[in-house]
Amino acid sequence: MPFYHKLGKIPPKRHTQFRKPDGTLYSEQLFGTIGFDGMYSNIYHEYRPTQVKEIKKQYNVAPKIARANNMESLRLKGFDVKPEKDYLSSRKTVLTNSDCSIILAAPQESLKDYFYKNTDADELIFIHKGSGKLRTFLGNLDFKYGDYLVVPRGIIYQIDFDTEDNRLFIVESRRPIYTPKRYRNWFGQLLEHSPYCERDIRKPQELESHDEKGEFLVKVKKRDEIFEMVYATHPFDVVGYDGYNFPYAFSIHDFEPITGRIHQPPPVHQTFETDAFVVCSFVPRLYDYHPDSIPAPYNHSNIDSDEVLYYVDGDFMSRNDIEAGQITLHPAGIPHGPHPGAAERSIGKTETEELAVMVDTFKPLQVTEDGLKLSDGSYYQSWLEK
């Protein structure tokens, strides 16, 4: 995050002696991004974070591609993804390219038996159903329905769920996830015209500092493979840190919509950016108020980006037969727009309760086997006049 955060205890000066009550040194770790150019935190551990005991296994978890080149508009029935006990195996990649993966998951159990670290992708975890606590080595974040959890690459975490009924929409991003640049001033502060500000962003507040030695399994993901690494010290042994690189939460319900007299383009809904895709939040809002306005969108050709919409709640104004938990994919290169009747139907309406997350990727998305299984097979014909 482009602001400073401090948690736990740290010495007054970086890279100086910082001692435990018994006189020995805490172990400092610089946790940085983009070489030494990006955001970073300075972390203080009970033990050296380098103590690998064993690398037990290495296995491939790359999604199986069913359709490498896709020109079909798809509707994926996301809630058909079967709930599974284990957090990592519950995550099903449905769409993917070399920059990002779109993942659906219905994990039933908290992740407690091992720790997880994604080394080359930031994770954006949207909570559609469920609540609990994201537990990380840089502090914990409580979450509930509507939260985006932003977990920068390299953050070791576990996740606790309050119940078995959880539905997650996850974007795994090989490009760093930032707040939109046009909403930040030259110091990084979110500007007045930003749809949210720093007060809406929840930082980790609770630091678990386990002073424990033993055997701790960390499943480390790197280039579509999992490495099962056993560490000799507890991964959550941090006593304090400060800096700009940490996980955070933002609720879609805190996104303040930007409205206008005529239909506003998708960028007004933008919530996050990377240099390979954007993430937008469609939230309940007042409709356009020009006397002749058409609240439903016009047909549009997203020639340079694939458009993924994940429907969360409410009635989605431009679509017929769309239910919560479904994904639509509108591939780059062909126009799409409101379904038959949707434009007329929208006229005179003054507000919408729709809630959806959109991911527009600049490279085309490939459809995986897990994704194609969820397809209804006929969505691409749903614009035909009957």
Question: Residues annotated as binding site for homogentisate?
Answer: 336
Query: Where in the sequence numbering do the catalytic residues fall?
Result: 263
User: Smallest distance, Å, CB 300 to Fe ion?
Assistant: 6
At 358, give phi and psi (nearest 5°): -115, 140
Q: How many residues does the chain have?
A: 386
Phi-psi region of 198 (alpha: psi -120 to 50; beta: other; left: phi over 0): alpha
Q: Which residue is nearest to Fe ion (CB)?
A: 307
Q: Which is nearer to Fe ion, 288 or 307 (CB)?
A: 307
Q: Which is nearer to Fe ion, 26 or 287 (CB)?
A: 287
- According to CB under 5 A, which residues from 271 to 310 bind Fe ion? 307
Q: Buried b / exposed e across 79-107, counting CB within 10 Å, b at 16+?
A: bebeebeebeebbbbbbbbebbbbbbbbb
User: Smallest distance, Å, CB 302 to Fe ion?
Assistant: 6
Annotated binding site for Fe cation: 300, 306, 336
Distance CA 122, CA 111 (A): 18
Q: Which is nearer to Fe ion, 306 or 307 (CB)?
A: 307
User: Smallest distance, Å, CB 320 to Fe ion?
Assistant: 15
User: Smallest distance, Å, CB 336 to Fe ion?
Assistant: 6
Q: Which is nearer to Fe ion, 83 or 337 (CB)?
A: 337
- According to CB under 5 A, which residues from 307 to 326 bind Fe ion? 307
Using DSSP, state whether 254 is helix, strand or coil.
helix
State the DSSP H helix or E strand holding residue 118, giving kind and residue range, or none if neither: strand 111-118
Beta carbons within 10 angstroms of residue 112's beta carbon: 11
Stretch 123-152: interaction string toward Fe ion, x if CB under 5 A:
------------------------------
Question: Considering Cα of 166, then 355, then 204, then 248, what sign does the dihedral take?
Answer: positive
What is the distance of C-alpha 238 from the center of its chain? Answer: 24
Distance CA 200, CA 250 (A): 6
Which residues, other chains included, contact 13 with Cβ-Cβ below 8 Å and sequence gap of 6+? none
User: Smallest distance, Å, CB 260 to Fe ion?
Assistant: 17
Give the binding-site size for Fe ion (rule: CB under 5 A). 1
Q: Which is nearer to Fe ion, 43 or 355 (CB)?
A: 355
Residue (of 227, 126, 230) closest to 169 by Cα position: 126
Distance CA 357, CA 366 (A): 19
User: Smallest distance, Å, CB 99 to Fe ion?
Assistant: 19
What order do you get walking across the sheet with 277-282 strand by strand?
A: 74-77, 326-330, 306-313, 355-361, 277-282, 270-273
Annotated binding site: 300, 306, 336
What is the distance of C-alpha 47 from the center of its chain? Answer: 31
Q: Which is nearer to Fe ion, 10 or 356 (CB)?
A: 356
Which residues sit at the interface with Fe ion, rule CB under 5 A? 307
